[in-house]
């Protein structure tokens, strides 16, 4: 069976997750890597067991046979890199989260991929955490009855050293605050469980980090089905990470997934369930995956291959990835204006990407 050939653009922190995932998938092969910082490109290539590296994606894609390009550059550069690569080389794209910062950029990415007949996949690997998939199946089965509330809490610790390690971090233009970066996974999960948001009220603050973006945010979201969503997110937790959690409450049940990275089933209560059923789920989904990144990158890339090979609908394509970006922009706009923001909206005051 055909092996899919991957190339990485960007050899920073997240690149090792992509290298490990590709190595562990029999149908996948890592062909090339590039970074504008030579030391990073070299060490990434060594880690991947390649005997070469590139300092520009043009040089890489002119010289290498590649099916899929993984865009792992700073968030605000994803649109420029995706659009340029698709227009020039017509490759399928896996782009790290968030797909973009500005909604208009996300739209151009989607349109460019469509016009060039290539697929666009946005990495949301936490959707593959086993407790999250278990929760999603309960939502799909209607086990909660009417869902009336969903909450996410991201209480992570990112100190000044974290923000200072790269110039793009903590900037509106290339990173965005805790909502666009760290909590974008959790906001995606909240929407995946609760459906379409219709409006949002929010406040953001910068408490402990010396950065232009927020390090703390609180938002209340109203969903189309009448449910209320709560987002509490901060990177100012000290001295260490506390939790990354998701709770869903319905008329017939309550589920809480906690841990550091929505990876531990903490509560699984449904009306009429037996103690054995509850204990079984709590035991089976106790802590899985075992770290903050999850093992979702493998699942995600396997899914990408399956979608391309069998022409299947992607779990998170450009349009699906755009949904949480729209909500995040609306949250920032509400924090900026002090007003409730209705979706679908055209951002005017969101600072993201500017
Ligand atoms: N899915 C997740 O859980 C997860 C986790 C961490 C980071 N991310 C995302 O991955 C992206 C990268 O994050 P990171 O922590 O690896 O950042 P990083 O700064 O460590 O790495 C980014 C790399 O891109 C390189 N780069 C910039 N411009 C380039 C160009 N034109 N060509 C080639 N390389 C270029 C930089 O030199 C740098 O080495 C961000 O969008 C981030 O949000 C996702």
For the domain that residue 262 is a member of, what is the CATH number? 3.30.360.10
Compute the Cα dihedral for 225, 230, 233, 238 and give only its sign: negative
- How far apart CA 125 and CA 50 sit, in angstroms, is 25
Ligand 1 geometric centre to CA of 73 (Å): 4
Whether the CB of 329 sits within 6 Å of ligand 1: no
**Judgement on whether residues 217 and 305 belong to the same structural domain of the protein:** no
Q: Is residue 345 part of a domain?
A: no
Each residue's pLDDT tens digit, 56-104: 999 999 999 999 999 999 999 999 999 999 999 999 999 999 999 999 9
Q: Is residue 270 part of a domain?
A: yes
Q: Is residue 66 part of a domain?
A: yes
Classify each residue of 237-271 as buried b or exposed e, where b means 16 or more C-beta atoms within 10 Å of its C-beta.
beeeeebbbbbbbbebbebbbbbbbbbbbbbbebe
Whether the CB of 214 sits within 6 Å of ligand 1: no
Closest alpha carbon to 95 in 65, 76, 69: 69
- How far apart CA 206 and CA 223 sit, in angstroms, is 27
Q: Is residue 227 part of a domain?
A: yes
**Judgement on whether residues 172 and 99 belong to the same structural domain of the protein:** no
C-alpha 234, offset from chain centre: 16
**Judgement on whether residues 174 and 44 belong to the same structural domain of the protein:** no
**Judgement on whether residues 273 and 208 belong to the same structural domain of the protein:** yes
Query: In sequence order, which residues have a C-beta less than 8 Å from that of residue 73 and are 6 or more positions away?
Result: 9, 10, 12, 81
The percent helix, strand, coil of the chain (3-state, each to 5) is 35, 25, 40
- How far apart CA 67 and CA 93 sit, in angstroms, is 9
Q: Is residue 228 part of a domain?
A: yes
Whether the CB of 35 sits within 6 Å of ligand 1: yes
What is the extent of the structural domain holding 301? 4-125+297-315
- How far apart CA 216 and CA 208 sit, in angstroms, is 9
Whether the CB of 73 sits within 6 Å of ligand 1: yes
**Judgement on whether residues 258 and 155 belong to the same structural domain of the protein:** yes
Please give the pLDDT value at position 295. 61
Whether the CB of 57 sits within 6 Å of ligand 1: yes
**Judgement on whether residues 48 and 181 belong to the same structural domain of the protein:** no
pLDDT, one tens digit for every residue, the chain (354 residues):
789 999 999 999 999 999 999 999 999 999 999 999 999 999 999 999 999 999 999 999 999 999 999 999 999 999 999 999 999 999 999 999 999 999 999 999 999 999 999 999 999 999 999 999 999 999 999 999 999 999 999 999 999 999 999 999 999 999 999 999 999 999 999 999 999 999 999 999 999 999 999 999 999 999 999 999 999 999 999 999 999 999 999 999 999 999 988 999 999 999 999 999 999 999 998 866 655 455 678 999 999 999 999 999 999 999 999 999 999 999 999 999 999 999 977 888 889 999
Ligand 1 atom nearest residue 13's Cα: 16
Q: Is residue 351 part of a domain?
A: no
Ligand 1 geometric centre to CA of 43 (Å): 15
Q: What is the CATH number of the domain that holds 31?
A: 3.40.50.720
Whether the CB of 96 sits within 6 Å of ligand 1: yes
**Judgement on whether residues 18 and 94 belong to the same structural domain of the protein:** yes
Ligand 1 atom nearest residue 11's Cα: 39
Number of domains in the chain: 2
**Judgement on whether residues 106 and 189 belong to the same structural domain of the protein:** no
Determine contact, residues 353/105, Cβ cutoff 8 Å.
yes
Please give the pLDDT value at position 345. 77
**Judgement on whether residues 139 and 277 belong to the same structural domain of the protein:** yes
**Judgement on whether residues 184 and 55 belong to the same structural domain of the protein:** no
- Structure pTM? 0.95
Determine contact, residues 245/237, Cβ cutoff 8 Å.
no
Query: In sequence order, which residues have a C-beta less than 8 Å from that of residue 201 and are 6 or more positions away?
Result: 219, 220, 334, 339, 340, 341
**Judgement on whether residues 140 and 253 belong to the same structural domain of the protein:** yes
Please give the pLDDT value at position 206. 98
**Judgement on whether residues 34 and 164 belong to the same structural domain of the protein:** no
Q: Is residue 44 part of a domain?
A: yes
Q: Is residue 205 part of a domain?
A: yes
């Amino acid at each position: 069976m055909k092996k899919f050939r991957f190339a990485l653009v960007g050899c920073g922190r997240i690149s090792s997750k992509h290298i490990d995932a590709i190595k562990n998938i029999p149908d996948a092969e890592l062909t090339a890597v590039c970074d504008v910082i030579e030391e990073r490109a070299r060490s990434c290539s060594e880690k991947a067991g390649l005997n070469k590296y590139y300092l520009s994606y043009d040089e890489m894609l002119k010289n290498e046979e590649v099916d899929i390009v993984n865009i792992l550059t700073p968030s605000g550069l994803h649109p420029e890199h995706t659009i340029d690569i698709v227009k020039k080389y017509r490759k399928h794209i896996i782009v790290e989260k968030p797909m973009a910062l500005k909604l208009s950029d996300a739209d151009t990415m989607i349109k460019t991929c469509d016009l060039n007949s290539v697929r666009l996949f946005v990495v949301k690997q936490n959707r593959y955490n086993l407790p999250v998939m278990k929760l999603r199946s309960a939502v799909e089965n209607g086990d909660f009855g009417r869902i009336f509330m969903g909450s996410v809490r991201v209480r992570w610790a990112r100190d000044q050293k974290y923000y200072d390690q790269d110039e793009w971090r903590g900037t509106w233009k290339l990173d965005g605050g805790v909502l666009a970066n760290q909590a974008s996974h959790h906001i995606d999960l909240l929407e995946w469980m609760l459906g379409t948001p219709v409006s949002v009220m929010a406040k953001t603050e910068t408490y402990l980090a010396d950065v232009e973006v927020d390090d703390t945010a609180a938002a209340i979201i109203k969903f189309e089905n009448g449910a209320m969503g709560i987002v509490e997110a901060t990177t100012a937790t000290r001295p260490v990470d506390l939790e990354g959690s998701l709770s869903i409450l319905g008329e017939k049940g309550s589920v809480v997934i906690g841990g550091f990275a929505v990876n531990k089933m903490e509560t699984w209560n449904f009306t009429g369930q037996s103690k054995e059923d509850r204990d079984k789920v709590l035991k089976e989904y106790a802590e899985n995956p075992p770290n903050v990144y999850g093992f979702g990158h493998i699942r995600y890339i396997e899914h990408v291959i399956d979608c391309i090979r069998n022409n299947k609908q992607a779990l998170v394509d450009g349009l699906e990835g755009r949904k949480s970006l729209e909500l995040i922009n609306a949250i920032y706009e509400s924090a900026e204006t002090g007003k409730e923001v209705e979706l679908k909206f055209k951002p005017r005051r969101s600072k993201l990407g500017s």
